[in-house]
Amino acid sequence: MSQTDFSTLALHPDLLTNLETLGYCSMTPIQAQSLPPILAGKDVIAQGKTGSGKTAAFGLGLLNALEVKRFRIQTLVLCPTRELADQVAKEIRKLARSIHNIKVLTLCGGMPFGPQIGSLEHGAHIVVGTPGRIEEHLSKGTLRLDHVKNLILDEADRMLEMGFQSAIDAIIDLAPSERQTLLFSATFPEQIESISKHIMREPVRIQVASTHDDSSISQHFFKVDDNQQRMLALRLLLLQHRPKSSVVFCNTKRETQEVADELRQLGFNALALHGDLEQRDRDQTLVQFSNHSASILVATDVAARGLDIDALDAVINYQIARDVEIHVHRIGRTGRAGSKGIACSFYSDNEHYKVALLEDYLARQIVDEDLPPMTLLNKTPPPPTMATLQIDGGKKQKVRAGDILGALTGEDGIAGAQVGKINLFDNRAYVAVEREVLKRARKKLEHGKMKGRSFRVRHLPC
């Protein structure tokens, strides 16, 4: 038996059985190093890149310690964004599906407050939420942490970057002092060191390798003279590699929007993701990108945190990140799960110091490459494979994914294989369909019925 088998751990038998059915056979490095001290009840600080398996590490730990018959909030997980909170809650529910009656509740900003109060009144075992909304519930007395045994800070570096320090302090002040605290972070700035000293007791420190294997991620660097050449370089690389799914990272919200707008004017299917977007616009952007209705996402580091994208062909750094660990975290979004990925970075003369820092960190010499040939500008940007239809009905109207699929594939409908991801929200739903059957699919939904009624349908263009 391998030392990385989950069966070597003192996990509840139901959890082990479920892990087998999920196909989780062996532990990732961060799981193998962090799970033994977590299961022993120790405080843990763990540093690992995106896709390292940290959610399953703390998820299994908190589920193993949970007393299901005590219907009290026993675990609080803090996340920087609603998307990450939803992703974490989904993973915990998946890990817990062999144990009956475990209730996981998400409490995030951007969502109505009233229904959250109602959910809290019905009780929960585990709460996953954003610091601002958790603090708001605590101040109003709608949430109490008296029975919390496990406090988890996921992507703590981003929470601090987003200005949640005071909210985190207020939450911790109201949590029991006798608890287990787990802190997970992709990078480890001084603030993390400081906060860990105040909220943790003799934490076990774990760090897994942050660099990436060149066999899975091919890194390329390009020197540019100015912003005009930066945009030219971006166009040429997108036209050369024609990625089905790519993220372009910018360092500011303003530049993120400007780059996305210019790409759209040039015929590319690009969307912007940054902190100034309204929650509904953010939801739509993430839906369209994850279901392959948009092939390019231009994003800031903070906004892109918590992206749940299965396969990313390319990452392009419009500017090199301000921090070397953030650079490594960015490019770690491609080349995952054994697939190949490409990472391209642009830098100008006044960014040479960043290149020098990266060379030290990566222990390699960075040599700038020639840009692809200008003749590529004669090519047309490739269209996305899918298109998104928005339906003005969702969970509250009892619309299910099966209803949407049935309406699309019924008599004279489209084939099931031509239907992509279906995303359900409270009062709306989104379905991806292959672009060539968009008109037929829209007509089927507009003239058909779900739950005995018709819903308004519209195409979401990029």
149-189 confidence digits (pLDDT tens) = 999 999 888 888 777 888 999 999 999 999 999 999 877 77
One-letter amino acid identity for 284? Q
pLDDT score of 305 = 67
Count how many Cα atoms sit within 13 Å of the Cα of residue 426 in the half-sphere of its side chain.
Answer: 6
Provide mean pLDDT across the span 211-216.
Answer: 52
Question: Strand, coil or helix: what is 317?
Answer: strand
Q: Which domains does the chain have, with CATH numbers?
A: 6-207 (3.40.50.300), 217-378 (3.40.50.300), 386-460 (3.30.70.330)
Close Cβ partners of 420 (under 8 Å, ≥ 6 residues apart) = 291, 292, 386, 431, 432, 433, 434
One-letter amino acid identity for 437? V
pLDDT score of 112 = 87
Q: Looking at 113-127, 185-199, 368-382, which range is the least confident one?
A: 185-199
pLDDT score of 66 = 94
C-alpha to C-alpha distance for 161 and 125, rounded to whole angstroms: 29
pLDDT score of 50 = 60
- Alpha helical stretches, state H, 162-267: 165-174, 190-199, 227-241, 253-265
Provide mean pLDDT across the span 192-213.
Answer: 79
- The answer to whether 43 and 201 are in contact (CB under 8 A) is yes
Cα three-residue angle 251-87-312, rounded to 5 degrees: 55
C-alpha to C-alpha distance for 107 and 270, rounded to whole angstroms: 30
pLDDT score of 22 = 86
Residue 337 has pLDDT above 80, yes or no: no
H or E element, residue 14: helix 13-22
Banded pLDDT at 339 (limits 50, 70, 90)? low
Q: Looking at 37-41, 99-103, 299-303, which range is the least confident one?
A: 299-303
- The answer to whether 149 and 74 are in contact (CB under 8 A) is yes
Using only C-alpha atoms, what is the Rg of the chain? 23
Provide mean pLDDT across the span 75-91.
Answer: 91
- The answer to whether 125 and 73 are in contact (CB under 8 A) is yes
pLDDT score of 317 = 95
DSSP code, position 298? E
pLDDT score of 215 = 52
H or E element, residue 116: helix 113-122
Question: CB count, 10 Å around CB of 10?
Answer: 9
pLDDT score of 352 = 86
pLDDT score of 98 = 87
Please tell me the pTM assigned to this model: 0.66
C-alpha to C-alpha distance for 278 and 280, rounded to whole angstroms: 6
Provide mean pLDDT across the span 28-42.
Answer: 93
Banded pLDDT at 422 (limits 50, 70, 90)? very high
pLDDT score of 160 = 84
Banded pLDDT at 2 (limits 50, 70, 90)? low
Give me the chain's average pLDDT, please: 89
Let me know if 285 is exposed, middle or buried by CB neighbors in 10 A (0-12, 13-18, 19+): buried
Question: CB count, 10 Å around CB of 431?
Answer: 26
Question: Strand, coil or helix: what is 3?
Answer: coil
Provide mean pLDDT across the span 179-207.
Answer: 86
277-332: pLDDT as tens digits: 888 898 999 999 999 999 999 999 877 765 656 568 899 999 998 888 788 778 87
228-281: pLDDT as tens digits: 999 999 999 999 999 999 999 999 999 999 999 999 999 999 999 998 888 889
Match 């610091």 to its residue by tokens: 131
Banded pLDDT at 361 (limits 50, 70, 90)? confident
